[in-house]
Structure 1
Amino acid sequence: MVDLKDLLADLADESAQLDDMVAGPPPADWGSATPSPGWSVGHQVAHLAWTDHVALLAATDAEAFLAAVLAADDPARLVDAGAQEFLAPPTELLPRWRAGRAALADALARVPAGGKLPWFGTRMSPASMVTARIMETWAHGTDVADALGVTRTGTARLRHVAHLGFRTLGHSFAAHGRPAPTVPVRVELGAPDGATWTYGPADAADRVTGPALDFCLLVTQRRHRADLSLTAAGPVADAWLDVAQAFAGPPGPGRPPLAAHSGATGLTGPAGGVAA
């Protein structure tokens, strides 16, 4: 089990890395288009700030959270509407994002042991919520890095993304209208420090192997499997790599292979809006 304090520290570090990227020096061009059509660097940060705000409501006022969800004019556009609502110049949005993520961390640390938070279609423990926030911060940070031409080095924090990617195997199939697999899958990933991260039973016939970074890019739908060094053995493992998504909601659009769109590096649309 991962200690909540350690999870919160990793979330703070992941957020700080993205903060440094967009705040400079030199300051990022917040109008730069990211791989998600219609989303600029500013939209990516605004989305994270909005999601932190909604998560804070879930942690402190469940009724207000549910009211905010029910008040949405178009639930299918909730994520885009939230990003647009919070979009602002850097001098306004950066302080809001920083204050919001600090308030969320404080609120999650105060949730009583065993407490569950309402979320989109489910309930989450504080630890699960923090893990989801790490995943989203890293995924949207990848979009920003792609837009700005920044190469990021994988860190040990990827283990949270990988863990969530493995745990959402069943959800990935269900989101695409397929029955959840009844056979286990073994996942063996090469970590940034040279270690091996493993998930699932060691004797499982179906297996996924490869770099942890590639697995994280796949389950957050930041890269197509054809552009990654992942190997699937067995029919369930192979099918999973086509539908994997570590975030809640309907199936994400993913992205085509790089060769299919002349070397572009982006998604076909915003993905991972309300992480599970």
Structure 2
Amino acid sequence: MSTARDRYLRALDRVDDVVAGIRPAQWGLATPCPDWDVRELLGHLADGQAQVTAMLRGAPPRPGTAGPADPDPAAAWRRARQEVAAALAAVTDDAVLRTPLGELPLPALLDTAVIEPLLHGWDLATAVGGATDLDPETAEVTLRGVRALGEQLAQTGMYAAALPTDEGSTAQERLLALTGRRPVGP
């Protein structure tokens, strides 16, 4: 099994791949996140990476930003991606960091924070017709964390209610369903 750091970086790489394929006409497309189009969702992802960067650097947790998305969302994503990668490279695997959930070891922080680039990367890919496959290992680890939270995710208002899945569903299908997303058909 890979480390939380590896899984987190793979999720960021996947978002990079999706962003690289977004065409100018697609920025206004609807996403599976009802309040955000492609531009706004990528802005949310970039802001989330700025929040993770702050925690990795020992800065107090910062609130998310609201307001219009950056006029060049792809560039904003690349900047945020570079900053979080640099901050992550400067932190040891045994670091304990301040987070909104209290002090957490780096692996716990990353295994919690990965839900954003993992699921929103899928949301972006779904919106623009890109590949919607999730890293199987990261999906499995994230699924365990989401299951442990139970109904708490839906109660935040940031996730839709869980959807049912079949007995033979993959980790990706179960994770998507638990976060209120309908898997994309073949």
TM class by smaller structure: 0.7 to 0.9
Partners of 1:50 and 1:174 in 2: CA distance: 23
Partner residue, 1:128: 108
Partner residue, 2:136: 158
Change (3 A) 1:94 1:174: closer
Equivalent residue in structure 1 for 2:97, among 117, 129, 140: 117
CA contact (8 A) 1:162 1:215 kept: no
Partner residue, 1:219: 178
Instruction: Identify which of structures 1 and 2 has the higher relative contact order when contacts are C-alpha pairs closer than 8 Å and 6+ apart.
Output: 2
Partner residue, 1:89: 71
Where in structure 2 are there 5+ consecutive unaligned residues? Answer: 156-166
Partner residue, 2:59: 62
1:3 aligns with 2:3: yes
Change (3 A) 1:34 1:8: closer
Q: TM-score, normalised by structure 1?
A: 0.53
Partners of 1:39 and 1:109 in 2: CA distance: 31
CA RMSD of aligned residues (A): 3.0
Change (3 A) 1:88 1:18: same
Deviation (angstroms), 1:4 = 5.2
**Corresponding residue SS for 1:118:** strand
Deviation (angstroms), 1:121 = 2.5
Count of residues in correspondence between the two structures:
174
Change (3 A) 1:222 1:104: same
Q: Tell me which protein shows more strand as a share of its residues.
A: 1
Partner residue, 2:162: none
Matches within 5 A, 1:73-88: 82=65, 84-85=66-67, 87-88=69-70
Tell me which structure has the larger Cα radius of gyration. Answer: 1
Change (3 A) 1:116 1:140: same
Q: Which amino acid aligns with 1:146?
A: T
CA contact (8 A) 1:14 1:134 kept: no
Change (3 A) 1:126 1:106: farther
